[in-house]
Amino acid sequence: MSVPPSPQEYLQYLITHKDTVLAPWVAGCVADLYAAGIFTSMVVRYFSRSDVPKDSNKTRMFVVLVAVLSAYKSAAALYILFLFSVILSGDQVRLTVATLTNVVLVTSSLTTQFVDLAVQSYYVALLWQIFRLDGGRRFHPSLRWGLFAGICLLAILGVTMACLAVAEMLSLRFLNVPEYLATQLAASFLCDAFISIGTVYCLLKSNRYSANDRNRSMFNKIARLIALSAAIPAVCALLNVSIVAANVFYNRWHVFFDFALSKAFAISFMWTIETRRNIRHAETIERNSDHTGPNQSPHHLSQAFFESRFAATVQIPPLAQTTIEMGNPQQQRPRDNMRDRQSISGSGHSGHGNFLDMKT
């Protein structure tokens, strides 16, 4: 761990090595703005698509929350770029002190932690739904509560360390900033690892005991999706914590990975939601084709259901009703059509097969 300098030594270092200090911030801000364009396009596509069913209101609120936090991070990046442009053309001592005491600049790591926490909350909700649908058949309750207890403790530790680091930097003491930041990043990385490994393990174990080929295919797809979406943030977090633990004061390149980490979390979050929605839509289409048969579309089946309900509601002579029920094999009785409609809507499937259709 690096030895913390005094405020006077650090200010003198910033003044004499301003290019070395400003380069990571400029690179991180530019990378953040570039990734913000990718994330914004994904959010706009998510809310504007009409070819797939909409997610639950809870999932859409997660998207809005992550979008607001990411927008604040991008706005902070623009403000930091403006602040550094002022530093390059003004009184170095006065503007450097203003920079160090600037709340937007100092709380950059805390904002990243909040973005991470919002994304982690969504994945924890998915993991909770897996345990809830299992009902204790395959996973012991001690595994569930132990896993969630570890995740909660790591999340609280990460937020606490980020707040302590911000308080240290605002007070210009720099006594335990490296320890606080390293602990925050390590806790965030371990929390992501617990969530990802736990979710993949539960999906693969459910896949092992599943007798339905469609469920096994769905579990494999979701497990691969969770593993891939967690890979890029994990790499950014490892690089970030390694640089912070080595030298947080005179090597500021951890700032670049701090900006990249927040957008990596946000982009992987949107990629997970979009891919999960596409998989759910494909499963629904395949399920409908199985229930309607090769020569009958869902529109024809719904039309037959409407006609059979109409025939059952309106008083039709017995001979005509017999003709409708027996003379035309494509027409079905009301009870059979009601069962077909329930099967198409997915209510005929129970247990863990409803993982894609669950409300998160």
Give 200-210 pLDDT, tens digit per residue.
Answer: 888 787 776 66
Q: Which of 249, 268, 290 is the last residue of a domain?
A: 290
Q: Is the pLDDT of residue 249 over 70?
A: no
Query: What are residue 333's phi and psi, to 5 degrees?
Result: -70, 160
- Mean pLDDT value of segment 102-110: 77
C-alpha span between 329 and 326 (Å, rounded): 6
300, 292 contact by CB (below 8 A): yes
Per the structure, how many domains does the chain have?
Answer: 2
Between 340 and 197, where is the model more confident? Answer: 197
- The whole domain housing 105 covers 7-290
Q: Is the pLDDT of residue 334 over 60?
A: no
Angle at 349 between CA 345 and CA 354, to 5 degrees: 90
Query: What are residue 317's phi and psi, to 5 degrees?
Result: -55, 150
Same domain, 286 and 326: no
Residue 1 lies in a domain: no
Residue 145 lies in a domain: yes
User: Quick one: pLDDT band at residue 152, thresholds 50, 70, 90?
Assistant: very high
What's the number of CA atoms in the CB half-sphere (13 Å) around residue 203?
Answer: 24
The residue written with tokens 């770029």 in the block is 81
Same domain, 220 and 320: no
- Mean pLDDT value of segment 307-334: 40
Residue type, 328: N
| 340: three-class secondary structure by DSSP | helix
Run of H or E including 230: helix 213-246
Same domain, 283 and 310: no
User: Residue 244: is it exposed, middle or buried by C-beta count within 10 angstroms (0-12/13-18/19+)?
Assistant: buried
Same domain, 338 and 230: no
Same domain, 156 and 199: yes
Residue type, 110: L
Is the pTM higher than 0.85?
no
CB count, 10 Å around CB of 154? 21
